[in-house]
Amino acid sequence: MRVVICGGGVIGASIAYFLSLRQVEAVVVERAGLACAASGKAGGFLALDWCDGSPLAPLARRSFALHGELAQGLGRDWGYRRLDTLGVVASARRRVESVRSLPSPAWLSPESAVQARLGTTETTAQVTPADFTEAMMAAACDLGARVHEGCVTGLGFAAEETVVTGVVVDGEAMAADAVVIAMGPWSVLASQWLSLPTVQGLMGHSLVFRHHQPGDPQALFVEFEAEDGRMYSPEVFPRPDGTVYVCGLPGETALPVDPTEVGPDPGAHDRLRAMIARFWPTLGQAQVLAAQTCYRPIVGDGLPLIGRIAGVDGIYVATGHSVWGILNGPATGEAMAELITTGATTTVDLRPFDPARLESRRPQEVRIDAP
Ligand SMILES: Cc1cc2nc3c(=O)[nH]c(=O)nc-3n(C[C@H](O)[C@H](O)[C@H](O)COP(=O)(O)OP(=O)(O)OC[C@H]3O[C@@H](n4cnc5c(N)ncnc54)[C@H](O)[C@@H]3O)c2cc1C
């Protein structure tokens, strides 16, 4: 059996790995480089129980466990570690009082204070997302998978478009027994080829600094009040390689069709850096190693689309993971591999993520500007 996976982000790489474990031939078709988009530019924060109370909880709990198992079992290093997580309140307009039982580290500014312990080494962890995605793909390739550089431009069908026969890559047919759409926010392109709920991309900016966080590693979720009273939510992740990643400034620019054309809103990285300097002054002055922009994939009800697409045999989708794609990549890959090879899942119930729960648009209703 050959499965073609469209998109080489964390979701595509994870599906390829778990299919390869089942001796299925997996081919990942990637247009612009593995982990070139959100899967290489995300924070990489993982939480055991932050999805509890939502339909995502079983997927997230399974995936948190799988991250730990993969880090121990695959013999590769992608910066996985457990860490504590703090909630910080910061303001450019007023002094913030510390909670007495939670002293603020000396490196935080006087305009900020720790207000809550949000996670411990039992419940929160991190990976470096690009390294994790590349390691999953490398492990898949060790088991027989391969990456094909190219742009998916269509699907092949038979039997009056009720059976998928493969994909079209840069105008050439590539045969497959099953096809998975895992192109993150670009999965919207697949709406030109078959009926699919709408997928959108939400833009975010991030910075990676060369800087060391003193003491034991602590992720920070900051509620920041700017001079004009607007609220922002920067997230800060110190990494084991002596860098610190910060995201939390959304953007306005629409998703370009070509992933290599993703770029920042004017001045966005300077604004993010100025915000950081208000709550962690030495970090705000540190050397910037990377100024990044990416889009997280979302669908209407905030839950991912994971499963078969009704009406056409052999076609599946796995996208819309929003802020939890790095966390939920492994369990998505595991469940998709099981679904494709056996027709059902035992690890995680995928019914809450069935694409059929949302209204789909027919291809003729979709117009996307040419790349
Ligand atoms: C700023 C930010 C911070 C985040 N932080 C976290 C976090 O801390 N923890 C967490 O769990 N999640 C986080 N996320 C969410 C996470 O990054 C995403 O949910 C996840 O990366 C989505 O992965 P994906 O594989 O679906 O899509 P993507 O990573 O977007 O990959 C899709 C791939 O498809 C390729 N592609 C596009 N068009 C085509 C085509 N026509 N043919 C072939 N290939 C194509 C692209 O080049 C791309 O490589 C964050 C997201 C953002 C934006």
- Among the atoms of ligand 1, which is closest to the Cα of residue 151? 42
Q: What is the DSSP string of 200-223?
A: EEEEEEEEEEE----SS-EEEEEE
Instruction: Dig out the tokens for 309 from the structure.
Output: 């697409």
Indicate the helix (H) or strand (E) that contains 140: helix 129-142
Q: 3-state secondary structure string, 61-76?
A: HHHHHHHHHHHHHCCC
Q: What's 260's DSSP letter?
A: G
If 0-12 CB within 10 Å is exposed, 13-18 middle and 19+ buried, where does residue 344 land?
exposed
The confidence score (pLDDT) of residue 371 equals 45
The rounded Å distance from CA 229 to ligand 1 centre is: 31
Q: What's 361's DSSP letter?
A: B
Which candidate, 255, 213, 215, 261, places its Cα nearest to that of 237?
Answer: 213
The rounded Å distance from CA 182 to ligand 1 centre is: 9
Which candidate, 213, 218, 225, 215, places its Cα nearest to that of 83?
Answer: 218
Indicate the helix (H) or strand (E) that contains 368: none
Which candidate, 95, 297, 59, places its Cα nearest to that of 186?
Answer: 297
**Residuewise pLDDT in 10s, the chain (371 residues):** 999 999 999 999 999 999 999 999 999 999 999 999 999 999 999 999 999 999 999 999 999 999 999 999 999 999 999 999 999 999 999 888 878 788 889 999 989 999 999 999 999 999 999 999 999 999 999 999 999 999 999 999 999 889 999 999 999 999 999 999 999 999 999 999 999 999 999 999 999 999 999 999 999 999 999 999 999 999 999 999 999 999 999 999 999 999 999 999 999 999 999 999 999 999 999 999 999 999 999 999 999 999 999 999 999 999 999 999 999 999 999 999 999 999 999 999 999 999 999 999 877 777 665 44
- For residue 116, count other CB atoms closer than 10 A to its CB: 13
Residues 31-68 have pLDDT tens digits of 999 999 999 999 999 999 999 999 999 999 999 999 99
Instruction: Dig out the tokens for 158 from the structure.
Output: 């038979």
Helix, strand, coil share of the chain (percent; to 5):
30, 35, 40
Indicate the helix (H) or strand (E) that contains 175: strand 172-175
Provide the angle, in degrees to the nearest 10, between the axes of the packed helices 325-342 and 129-142.
20
Instruction: Dig out the tokens for 142 from the structure.
Output: 């060790």
Instruction: Dig out the tokens for 252 from the structure.
Output: 């306005």
Long-range contacts of 20-23 (CB under 8 A, 24+ apart): 20/139, 20/140, 20/143, 20/144, 20/145, 21/143, 21/337, 22/337, 22/341, 23/144
Q: How far apart are CA 189 and CA 199, in angstroms?
A: 9
The confidence score (pLDDT) of residue 101 equals 84
pTM for the full model?
0.97
The confidence score (pLDDT) of residue 368 equals 63
Whether the CA torsion 8, 50, 113, 95 is positive or negative: it is positive
- Among the atoms of ligand 1, which is closest to the Cα of residue 189? 41
Evaluate whether 43 touches 359 at the Cβ level (below 8 Å): no
Q: Which are the contacts of 256, defined by CB distance < 8 A and separation ≥ 6?
A: 262
The confidence score (pLDDT) of residue 362 equals 77
The rounded Å distance from CA 131 to ligand 1 centre is: 14
Instruction: Dig out the tokens for 327 from the structure.
Output: 């966390």
The rounded Å distance from CA 285 to ligand 1 centre is: 29
Beta bridge partners, 237, equal: 245
Instruction: Dig out the tokens for 334 from the structure.
Output: 């595991």
Instruction: Dig out the tokens for 125 from the structure.
Output: 């962890």
> Which residues form the pocket of ligand 1, taking CB atoms under 6 Å from any ligand atom?
6-12, 29-32, 36-39, 42-45, 151-152, 182-186, 189, 204, 206, 247, 259, 294, 296-297, 319, 321-327
Evaluate whether 84 touches 219 at the Cβ level (below 8 Å): yes
The confidence score (pLDDT) of residue 167 equals 98
Q: How far apart are CA 42 and CA 260, in angstroms?
A: 17
Evaluate whether 74 touches 208 at the Cβ level (below 8 Å): no
